[in-house]
């Protein structure tokens, strides 16, 4: 079944193929332009380093994108991976609006 799943690209993969390769920018040029090290860029591209707000802001400034662009890609990747990993567990969770509200106990914090 897992072979039927669509490819879920991480932010670094999109950075590599949709930006660096399309614009003919080397990883080293990007690293120098952003004030980062070459190994940092490599780790992002290979998915070994998660996108951070710091790196996102640098990339977005460099590529003239709205702040958060790469973080949103990272978030979408992580959500899809979590859905795939949770699988049947998510299907077994009954949404709140479908439960009997009379049986639900609401806990309030004192004070």
Answer for the pair 30, 20: CB distance below 8 angstroms, yes or no: yes
Range list of H helices, 38-100:
38-45, 53-63, 69-86, 88-92
The yes-or-no verdict on residue 90 having pLDDT over 50 is yes
Domain 7-92 coded CATH 1.10.260.40? yes
pLDDT at 94: 84
How far apart (Å, rounded) are the C-alpha atoms in residues 45 and 62?
A: 16
pLDDT at 1: 43
Alpha-carbon separation of residue 93 from 2, 80, 86 (angstroms): 22, 17, 11
Domain boundaries, the chain: 7-92
| Percent of the chain with pLDDT strictly greater than 70 | 84
pTM, two decimals, is: 0.78
The model's confidence at residue 68, banded by pLDDT at 50, 70 and 90, is very high
């Amino acid at each position: 079944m897992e072979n039927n799943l669509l490819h879920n690209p991480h932010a670094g993969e999109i950075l590599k193929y949709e930006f660096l390769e399309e614009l003919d920018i080397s990883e080293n040029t990007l690293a120098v332009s952003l004030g980062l090290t070459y190994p940092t860029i490599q780790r992002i591209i290979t998915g070994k380093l998660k996108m951070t707000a710091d790196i996102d802001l640098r990339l977005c400034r460099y590529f003239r994108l709205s702040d958060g662009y790469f973080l949103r890609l990272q978030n979408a990747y992580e959500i899809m991976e979590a859905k795939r990993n949770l699988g049947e567990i998510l299907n077994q969770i009954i949404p709140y609006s479908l439960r009997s509200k009379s049986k639900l106990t609401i806990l309030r914090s004192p004070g």
